[in-house]
Chains A and B, each alone.
Chain A
Amino acid sequence: MASLVFLEHHEGELQKGSLGALAKAAELEGGDVAAVVLGSGVEELAGRAGRYGAGAVFVADDPAFEKPLPQPRVDALAQLVGEHGFDTILFAASVLSADVAAGLAARLDAGLNWDLVDLVREDGRLVGKRPALGDTVVADVGWTSEPRIALFRSGTFEPKETGGEADVRTFDADLEDFSSAAVMVEQAHEESTGPSIEDADVIVAGGRGLGGPEKFSLVEELAQALGGAVAATRAVVDSGWYPYSAQVGQTGRTVSPKLYVACGISGAIQHKVGMQTSSTIVAINKDPNAPIFDFADLGVVGDLNEIVPKLTELVRARRAG
């Protein structure tokens, strides 16, 4: 097996999810693996991957990779795979990595398995573990040809410090015309966040099922009564109902409180991966088919406009008494 791990970076830091994928690849290889860093002014950053299990780090340091756009990265990865014959290419899920992985699969005519929560060797072949149907089943998936492309669910593996040193090998990537057609005119920066929801013991979260931004007061009042913090889903943050800093999910914070109360949240994978390790999940939703009921500890089918204010009152009364 000859693995290549795609390392994502943002504002001078290698991303934790990518380093986790690197640790997984090193475990499977039983030693150092190759990694790739694409960016502008990233040679020193790339070297740091040695501490996390990368034996060789391929670096294309080029202004074309300054912005986190997927298509130029497909060109560079396809070139590396062609030149070095990697048979397995691993990605940790992110908005960028998913697009790179899928573009690369199409370019190389390679199989892509996504949303994997593990990758193991069984009966001499690589087997990915992929939850399906709202995580009610887990499928063992594989590849029928090489290279194999694997995209891990975000937050699946922890990085492991090995303290090694990487051989940094620079290369020049040839880019396709269409790959450079999209340009980034504004790039996201880490927003300053208020009190972090990552440390809260209790979180009350609101989704589209609230019906409108003004209904967040229901969520806020319940959070206050429980002494907890307020969180939101991507859909309501994208709609401008609540600030990005409160967002829980794949693009957003990952939280693990003792109690997570989900109000009007359907439980899409995007949200689930950010909160599924909460100790107790209570969900209130009027749609009995909402996927959140598949992983809530207590699911309540009903109208949150009725239930939440009453719940707030009862909690307040209990605390006061």
Chain B
Amino acid sequence: MKIAVCVKQVPDAAAPKRLDPATKRLDRSVEGAINPFDVHAVEEALRIKEGGGGGEVVLVSMGPAKAGESLRKALAMGADRVVLVTDDAAEGSDLLGTAKALAAALAREEADLVLFGQQSSDSDGAVLWAAVAEKLRRPVISQVAELTLADGKVRGKRQTEFGYDVIEAPLPAVVAVSDAINDPRYPSLKGIMGAKSKPQETVTASDLGVAADEIGESGKRTEVYAVGDPPPRGDSVKIEDDGGAAEKIVEYLVERKLI
């Protein structure tokens, strides 16, 4: 069983997030980290492999060359290797460009199962898997909170607005997992040491046969015109607990006649 996991580098949660006023894109010069939602997909892939599925877990990503550093955490967890699509022409890609480039990298891998996390923590995007599945012409199951494999099929339990559905699809298939599916492991020291020597392949979009005008700025079908302030919300207060937080909450609620 070969499993490809799509992972993204995002700005570290502790880094201040800002949009570059010139490009109106997220400033990605800050410290990067692997998208926390993707770690659940990596964990699920490792469990399938360790649970008798065997085979290989390949991380597939698109981003700047330095994204490789963030992906090392997933290698340290136990993934086998990385394929990073990195290309100056891909900078500024929207959903379509990203889907085309990732689908091309995934097609080359011919994985039995492609896993995604449930959303990206930076753009709140939760749509990429469906676009990639369409490009690959493969069945897709999203928001999967429980995943099982048997007889060449994948079965996923997904939560919708109405409760739980169970969906089954033949492999090869694309599945997006929810963050409730597992508790990801922490990399062991041995894993961290071993990660450094695992293969990290870098490919360009053209290596994958994706034309330059399909990705990046020239492949975009959407754009950002302007960025402004949201409608104001009332004053907000943030405090750190110094042992007296409970008293301060009560005070706050009493002032507002909520108790």
Contacts and interface: CB of A to CB of B under 8 A. Distances in A.
B115 interface: no
Interface string A54-95: 000000000000001111001000000000000000000011
A187 B173 CA distance: 20
Interface in B172-194: 173, 178-181
Contacts of A310: 246
Interface in B240-259: 240-241, 245-250, 252-254, 256, 258-259
Contact of A318 (B124, B159, B259): B259
Interface residues on A, range: 35 or more
Q: Which 3 A-B pairs have the closest CB atoms?
A: A302-B241, A111-B221, A238-B180
B125 A184 contact: no
Nearest to A311: B246
A244 B163 contact: yes
Given A139-B224, A239-B180, A300-B239, A99 B142 contact: yes
A68 B14 CA distance: 39
Given A115-B124, A186-B166, A103 B131 contact: yes
A11 B233 CA distance: 37
Contacts of B94: 111
A95 B237 contact: no
A226 interface: yes
Contact of A315 (B95, B158, B230, B250): B250
A176 interface: yes
Interface string B114-138: 0000010001111111111111011
A29 interface: no
A188 interface: yes
Given A139-B24, A181-B170, A282-B249, A106 B14 contact: no
Interface in A233-275: 234-239, 244, 250-252, 258-259, 268-270
Contacts of A284: 245, 249
A190 interface: yes
Interface in A160-213: 176, 178, 181-191, 202
B52 interface: no
B165 A311 contact: no
Contacts of B76: none
Most buried by A among B222, B240, B245: B222
B160 interface: yes
B151 interface: no
Given A140-B225, A298-B236, A300-B245, 20 more contacts: A71-B139, A95-B158, A95-B161, A101-B127, A102-B129, A111-B220, A112-B96, A114-B127, A115-B124, A133-B19, A135-B230, A139-B225, A140-B224, A144-B223, A183-B167, A188-B160, A270-B119, A300-B248, A314-B247, A319-B259
A315 to B, nearest CB: 6
Nearest to A99: B130
Contacts of A235: 178-180
A2 interface: no
Interface stretch (A19-27, A34-42, A44-52, A289-297): A289-297
**Most A Cβ at <10 Å: residue of B14, B139, B169:** B139
Contacts of B107: none
Given A95-B142, A111-B94, A310-B246, A185 B166 contact: yes
B219 to A, nearest CB: 9
Contact of B222 (A112, A131, A306): A112
A140 B228 contact: yes
A10 interface: yes
Given A106-B99, A140-B226, A299 B250 contact: no
Contacts of B227: 132, 137-140
Contact of B95 (A71, A105, A139, A190): A105
Contact of B238 (A178, A181, A301, A315): A301
Contacts of B181: 238
A185 B251 CA distance: 52
A71 B132 CA distance: 12
A224 interface: no
B80 interface: no
Given A105-B96, A188-B163, A189-B162, A301 B229 contact: no
A280 B223 CA distance: 35
B198 interface: no
B130 A106 contact: yes
Nearest to A239: B180
Given A139-B24, A143-B221, A181-B170, A103 B134 contact: yes
A268 to B, nearest CB: 8
Contacts of A300: 238-241, 245, 248-249
